[in-house]
Amino acid sequence: MTAPSPAAPAAGSLPGPSPPSDVDAVAFQRLVESLAQLADDSSVPRNVRRGAQSAKDELGKPRVALDLRIASAVYVLDDLANDPNLPTHGRTALWSIISGLESLQ
């Protein structure tokens, strides 16, 4: 019996389901980083920054299935995208993040 290669994590080594491939894991991490940037952007309203942080926290819950984490984050972000006080660049960032999350499902 051979040991698993270092590039591939052993089955069950990560809590909860993980994205099915390395490409998805990289895309997932980029989306989380985009949420962090949005949460730190002082040009968007405070409620949007809080919502971005909340969505990031939802995605980081290790014991929840990935599809549920994504659905929860999309729900929060979709509500924020309808804020009339949201600047255009913030709305575009939200739509981009939502689209990226939905493509991972």
Q: pLDDT tens, 58-74?
A: 999 989 988 999 999 99
- pLDDT tens per residue across span 77-90: 999 999 898 999 99
- pLDDT tens per residue across span 8-49: 444 444 444 444 456 688 899 999 999 999 999 999 999 999
pLDDT the model gives residue 12: 43
Distances (CA, A) of 71 to 13, 19, 26, 48, 93: 23, 14, 19, 18, 18
In the chain, the N- to C-terminal Cα span, in Å, equals: 34
What is d(CA 39, CA 23) in angstroms, rounded to the nearest whole number?
24
The model carries a pTM of: 0.75
- pLDDT tens per residue across span 3-12: 444 454 444 4
What is d(CA 38, CA 100) in angstroms, rounded to the nearest whole number?
15
| One-letter amino acid for residue 70 of the chain | I
Question: Hey, how many other C-beta atoms are within 10 angstroms of the C-beta on 30?
Answer: 12
Give the start-to-end residue ranges of the domains of the chain.
Answer: 22-104
For the domain covering 22-104, report its CATH number: 1.20.1440.50
